[in-house]
Structure 1
Amino acid sequence: MSIETLKSYLPENALSFLKIWFADYPIHIKITRNRNSKLGDYRKMPDQSHQITINSTLEPDLFFFVLTHELAHLIAFEKFGRRISAHGNEWKTTFAQMILESLDIYPQDLQLILKRFSKSPKANFMSSSDLVRYFHFDQLKDDEVFMESLQIGDRFMYREDAYKVEEKRKKLYLCINSTNAKKYLFKPLAKVQKV
């Protein structure tokens, strides 16, 4: 992929950071169709080059954030060796430094969220309720709510099954399935339909 093609997916002024971060590495970036299971992916190829895939449907700020996440894998593995944990301390430190280094390209309200996030980066941005709200809040359908907006005893639908909120456990919600009486844990930002 040419740098000009990549530029069309990025926020303004992001390219200068990528030129620094890409510097010494042979990288192939593939823009993919939307994948529900992941936003991006990093792999070291058999020929020792690096491949990063990123969903084409991401808005520029999220695209750059995901690309930074994946590049942090490459840089951490190259700097500390292949035996480090994929989302261990070396990756967290690398990712946090890259976020803070490039902070000015993001809108001010997102900068505040990213500063907090960089103190302890998560492997999956879905684990950061602030980031999920920032990037996805307006994508709720008319009949959807986030799990965190429900109260104990509320009933809701999730994937055509009915549930009742039993209790909140730290950050997760323990819920009982109305059909089979099994208990399930839901994340605060799971999208459900309140009934």
Structure 2
Amino acid sequence: MTRDQLEKGLAKYIPLPAVPLLAQWVIEFGAHLRITKARNSKLGDYRHPYAGEGHRITVNHNLNPYSFLITLVHEMAHLTTWNKYRNKVSPHGPEWKNEYKILMREVVKLKVFPLDIYNALVAYMQNPAASSCSDEDLLRTLRKYDVNKEFEHLEELPDNSLFALDNGMVMRKGPKSRKRYKCYEVNLRRYYMVSPLAEVKRLEE
């Protein structure tokens, strides 16, 4: 794939001002980037060179441009961490956090993020986690830019609402306990603590 082809492909998924920089990194680091179908368990992943294959990065196709960009930088940081330390460090340890900050600072300089995402991202960068999904403020802000509104967030539903998760579990929304809602699974007759940002489908009664 030529650089021009790579840039045209990336332009479909990330803000245009970030395209040249990310294309440069993909080529410079020798990464094989693949856009995948939506996965509930993760937004993207990285695989280090193994059995004759080089660096491999995947990112879900259905992310909004800002989520896609942040996820791609997250996985790129795994690549640069591997290049420096191989498998001698933990996946999301201090070394990865430092690499993530280095790369993300270069992206932030491009001024591609709306102010609300920028503020949430700067706060998240103080101590990056294994996934941007684990930071509720950043995730809540990023989801405001989602085009697909098929699902609602649990926190948006009225108390006592009946809803379904994407795994098929049917629940009734209960009270909030600290950071999560105590919800009753009507078929299993058990309570579960559910994130306020869980994507749910409201059910009619």
TM over 0.5: yes
Unpaired stretches in structure 1, ≥5 consecutive residues: none
Q: What TM-score, normalized by structure 1, do the two folds share?
A: 0.80
**What's the counterpart of residue 13 of structure 1?**
17
Query: Aligned AA for 1:182?
Result: R
Matched-pair contact (CA < 8 Å) for 2:26–2:33: no
**What's the counterpart of residue 40 of structure 1?**
44
Q: What TM-score, normalized by structure 2, do the two folds share?
A: 0.77
Corresponding position: 1:106 with 2:110: no
Give aligned pairs, total: 191
Q: 1:179 to 1:39 in 2, by over 3 A?
A: closer
Match 1:116 to one of 97, 119, 123: 123
Matched-pair contact (CA < 8 Å) for 2:6–2:23: no
C-alpha distance in 2, partners of 1:182/1:135?
A: 31
Q: Deviations over 1:7-64 (max 9, x none)?
A: 2233223244336645753221122233333222111132362111122333332222
Query: Aligned AA for 1:154?
Result: N
Matched-pair contact (CA < 8 Å) for 1:173–1:188: yes
Matched-pair contact (CA < 8 Å) for 1:100–1:118: no
Unpaired stretches in structure 2, ≥5 consecutive residues: none
C-alpha distance in 2, partners of 1:31/1:155?
A: 36
Written as runs of structure 1 = structure 2, the 5 A alignment for 1:16-165 is 16-18=20-22, 21-22=25-26, 24-46=28-50, 47=52, 49-103=54-108, 104-137=111-144, 139-141=148-150, 145-149=152-156, 154-158=160-164, 159=168, 161-165=170-174
**What's the counterpart of residue 194 of structure 2?**
186
Q: 1:107 to 1:94 in 2, by over 3 A?
A: same
Query: Aligned AA for 2:193?
Result: L
User: Which secondary structure state, in structure 2, belongs to the residue aligned with residue 102 of structure 1?
Assistant: helix
